[in-house]
Amino acid sequence: MEKNTGFKRVVKASVYSFNGLKAAVKNEAAFRQELLLAVIFIPLAIFLDVSALERVALIGVTVLVLIVELLNSAVEAVVDRIGSEYHELAGRAKDLGSAAVLITLLLWAYVWIELVLLGSGFSAS
């Protein structure tokens, strides 16, 4: 089997990544919902009158929600691939992935409330 190196490897990895994003949009309702929030909130963060660090925090936590949702979806897909019968470890894996998404969403809400609604800020601009 020929190994992909250099530019060819980068191109193939990019194609696999794009395919993963397409699969998430097509098959994962939660990812679509969070992507819609990102489409709304990232431009909002760009136009808000906040410091550069605050903007990075607002956009960063928004993107982090998408990343954690992708990882959760990957865990669920692997568990579902292994078998449809209930197993305690399979249930635990899915619950842990879901918990990671919940904690990330709570962090997202906290950062947006703290920086935008309460306006505390880093005072670094």
| pLDDT digits 0-9 by tens, 34-91 | 999 999 999 999 999 999 999 999 999 999 999 999 999 999 999 988 888 888 999 9
Q: Give the whole-angstrom CA distance, residue 45 versus residue 27.
A: 28
Which pTM value belongs to this model? 0.86
For domain 29-117, give the fold: Helix Hairpins (1.10.287)
pLDDT at 120: 59
Amino acid of residue 80: D
Quote the distance between the C-alpha of residue 85 and its chain's center: 28
Helix (H) and strand (E) counts in the chain? 4, 0
The CA-based angle 32-64-46, given to 5 degrees, is 85
Q: Indicate if the pLDDT at residue 124 is higher than 60.
A: no
Catalytic residues, which ones?
A: 69
Q: Give the whole-angstrom CA distance, residue 116 versus residue 111.
A: 8
pLDDT at 85: 81
Tokens of 4: 């992909």
pLDDT at 125: 45
Mean pLDDT of the residues in the chain: 92
